[in-house]
Structure 1
Amino acid sequence: MSVTEPTRTALSPTPRSTLTRSKARGTADRAALDAVLDAGLVCHLGVLSHGAPVVVPTTYGRDGDTLYLHGSTGAGNLRAAVGADVSVTVTHLDGLVYARSAMHFSMNFRSAVIHGRPIEITDPAERVRALRTVVEHVAPGAWDTVRPPNPKELAATMVLALDLTEASVKIRTGGPDDDPADLTGDAWAGVLPIRQVFDAPIPAADLGPGIEAPAHVSARVARTEVAAVQ
């Protein structure tokens, strides 16, 4: 599938963010980048640490054109990312594509790759706002129902901000792209869809009596159940 019609400010193309293969699956639409990031829960941060590449899975949050990452101030990989060239990726696997030939097996996916140099957020108010962004991205509605970080916790947490200008988005949908000569074969072809679901919440073993899962938790399960019915 080709996605080429921009609906918002286009991403800035650079040699690093320009696709070299399957270009028809790419899009420079910033709204498409937002959609991929907003639908994800985990990103992978690629950074050089002590002269070797390291890829670290972590949570994140997006506020406009800024991606926020966080971690312990003692995390060497996160420290190595400050002011250095890094790459952040988010991928959604939507289906396995079965073809009639081994070479045409594929996957339906949505992916984003961001390049840039993260900066460390040091302003206290901005750091709290960034951490709220991360929490609300992963657990919408949770921030206002729990204790906010105290000074000791904030001092132990590093927050990075990465501009989203230099990025690429790639999307594949649809069925297999078999060669005409293979269409008469007996092998099954099609798509095996994949989706992410939330199961019923499991309360903590030390949870006080009568404390039920809040609406913002139950709502995620309800949306999963609706999607399953559809």
Structure 2
Amino acid sequence: MKKTSPQRQLGLITVISLVAGGMIGSGIFTLPAALAQFGGISLLGWVIAAVGATSLAAMMGKLSKVIPEQGGSYAYTKRAFGKFPAFIVAWGFWLSLWSTNSAIALSFAGYFSVFFPGLQGQPWFTTSIALLVIWGLTILNSLSIRGSGNLQVVTTLLKIIPILIIAIGGLFVFDINHFIPLNISEVSSIQAITTASVLCFFAFMGIEAATIPAENIKNPEKNISKGTLIGVGLVV
């Protein structure tokens, strides 16, 4: 019996949203506070991380053309090294998603205390909201790939708009004195740049997002590569 491939429903805009939305999260929103200890020199760390992320995006795009299979890094590792190394990659990736999703769900629940102050510090409330978010998104992803893709587009816009407002607004209060001295930390400039690069690169995690649902993407040979590069460029 011939196996049929799933209907391809995700276009370029959704692919870009998968990549950009997957990267724009708690990492980017908390970076300013984390990098403030180093001062303006942390911008060099951002540049280094951006170059590394763009290089990985280009590599993922090339691999998606050579191996247009669903699974992303799992599929690429399986083709190159066999099933067992691919299993290790997939299992490690899955474990990282478990912990990440738990953290995101709990953070999401924690923000509800802003709107309902009386429920702050109530374990049952935090747990209920976190479980509702996890199961709600799980059900949506299981029922409709198009629905989950549309949700990704909406949430990506909701995350990008505040960042653009702050970035553009910051231009009107720019002060060069904030960059003097360039390194305000107690470590050497090399160590400051290295640490900042690691912190910044954490914010770029999610580059592989478009390669995983390859069989659901329209014209994957072009859209995965193009969408990954545009998504990373947007985040940079």
Q: What TM-score range do you get, normalising by the shorter chain?
A: under 0.3
Structure 2 length normalisation: TM-score? Answer: 0.22
Ranked by relative contact order (alpha carbons within 8 Å, sequence separation 6 or more), the top structure is 2
Bigger helix share = 2
Structure 1 length normalisation: TM-score? Answer: 0.23
